[in-house]
Structures are given as C-alpha cells and as structure tokens.
Amino acid sequence: MSIKSILIIDDSEVDQYLAKYMIEQFNSDIEIIHAYDGQEALEILADLPSQPDIILLDINMPRMNGLEFLNEYDKWQTKNSVVVMLTSSDRPVDREQSLAHECVRQYFTKPIDKSDLECLVR
C-alpha cells in the first residue's frame, strides 16, 4: 500500500507532534493533516478533494470522541480511508468497540513507532 496522506485526529498537541515526527521519519513525502477532535475531522474530510489514505484516530477527545466519530463516519457513502486507532487506551472494551467498525483495520497504543507504520504499508 502506498500512503500519500494521513489524517491525525487527536486533541493532544504532543501526541500530534510525535505521530507527525514518526511519519516524517518513515516517509517525508506523506502529507499530514491535523484535526483535534472528531467533529473537526468530519468537517475537514467533507472539504477535502480526496480522502486521506489513513486516519489515525484517538478515542478520548472533547466535543466528539473517537467512537462517536466512527459512528458518524460509518454513515458516509464513500469511506476510502483506512482507520487506525492510535490511543493510550488499552482497555479491551475500547479495542472491541473500535474494531467492530468495518473501516477500522488496526488498533495501536501510543506512541506510534516504525513497526506500526511498516504494518500499515503491508
């Protein structure tokens, strides 16, 4: 899989920075888009000319959390993005609820590392 763009949805600026840094180290040609909660992400996705290849999604965020985002995203007619949960939550219930959504392909705990990114391109 060739990754051209990634949307990072996370309310933490530090976690946004760390994910961006790791992605840039992995492949500096990947376009990185930022959203700080699920509502902002939906607005960004609606305005993009093409959907990102991957959405990295946190669970715990204000306004609209990751699971609420997934419930709304499931209603979209065209879901071309692969969603990857990137969260600090290692709770089995969060993992189960996330992976129950068809668009969610992986569940990683923060911080993302090189092996996680390599897994995504396979």
Domains: count for the chain: 1
pLDDT in tens, 82-117: 999 999 988 999 999 999 999 999 999 999 988 998
Nearest CA to 86 out of 114, 119, 111 is that of 111
The CATH number assigned to the domain holding 24 equals 3.40.50.2300
Note down the domain range covering 27.
5-121
List Cβ neighbours of 92 (8 Å cut-off, separation of 6 or more). Answer: none
pLDDT at 78: 75
Q: At what angle do helices 13-26 and 114-121 cross, to 10 degrees?
A: 60
- The residue among 77 and 33 whose pLDDT is bigger is 33
Tell me the percentage of the chain whose pLDDT exceeds 90.
Answer: 84
pLDDT at 20: 96
Tokens for 53, please give them: 């290849």
